[in-house]
Structure 1
């Protein structure tokens, strides 16, 4: 189930910016300028349950046929701990992050080292190592 965010609300990605100036335009179709911005928009897509955006921003070589997002999981915050490459003039990038969530079993954290590639103007999520 997709949730709506008011454009003037703080973006769920923990950037401190408002949604309409942060992840909103990227989720709506604007290219992410960096791998980190794509990572932040993907986190926001998990928060709002936007399966279509998550699939669209996933590289075709590793993209699953579909996702089973759990409506009971509530994503709380995102912290980017490291970025390598992924800038305006790079073809590849890595983003390491911690994402906090709450689900039926309580509070938890997901730690991942995610890999991204840029094809044309678009950054795409390739895969990640959890841990």
Structure 2
């Protein structure tokens, strides 16, 4: 049994870290995320792991870049979900703060991201930096 804590920081009701294989791991393996927050968390975990194919696959085709280059040397420090809102039946927004270090400097990415569900799968559309 793999008890590696999930990189997104999700915890149980008792505050215990969820294992990667019980949280974002199945989404990285191809299982559809059940909601926008879970997709957001799995995308954060993919950034930490450097999983560019997953990031591109979960980006809506109308907004997806042709390729994606991650910042080399980024050290991810944590994710905080501030708010999750269903804006329409198949649309949602997730406000989050992701923290990381780059070149010895602390970076705080505060964003409100928009997601859409198509054919039973959630996709990241775009976000506004706050």
Q: TM-score, normalised by structure 2?
A: 0.91
RMSD, matched Cα: 1.6
**TM-superposition CA deviations, 1:4-38 (whole Å, max 9, x none):** xx942110101021000100000110000000000
Partner of 1:3: none
SS in 2 for 1:100: strand
The residue number in structure 2 matching 1:97 is 96
Is 1:72 the counterpart of 2:73? The answer is yes
Tell me, yes or no, if the aligned pair for 1:13 and 1:77 is still in contact at 8 Å: yes
| Separation (CA, whole Å) in 2 of partners of 1:8 and 1:65 | 35
Deviations 1:39-72 (CA, angstroms, capped at 9, x unpaired): 0000000000000000000000000001111220
Report what 1:31 is aligned to: 32
> In the alignment, is the contact (CA less than 8 A) between 1:114 and 1:125 conserved in 2?
yes
Q: 1:26 to 1:109 in 2, by over 3 A?
A: same
Alpha carbons 1:92, 1:116 under 8 Å: kept: yes
Residue 107 of structure 1 deviates from its aligned partner by 1.2
Q: Secondary structure of 2:31's match?
A: coil
**Stretch deviating more after TM superposition (89-98 or 44-53):** 89-98
- The CA deviation at 1:90 is 3.1
Matched residue count? 124
Of 68-77 and 95-104, the range deviating more from structure 2: 68-77
Contact 1:94/1:116, CA 8 A, preserved across alignment? yes
The runs of at least 4 consecutive aligned structure 1 residues that moved more than 4 Å come to none
**2:119 paired with 1:124:** no
Unaligned runs of 5+ in 1: 1-5
1:7–1:24 CA contact under 8 A, matched in 2 = no
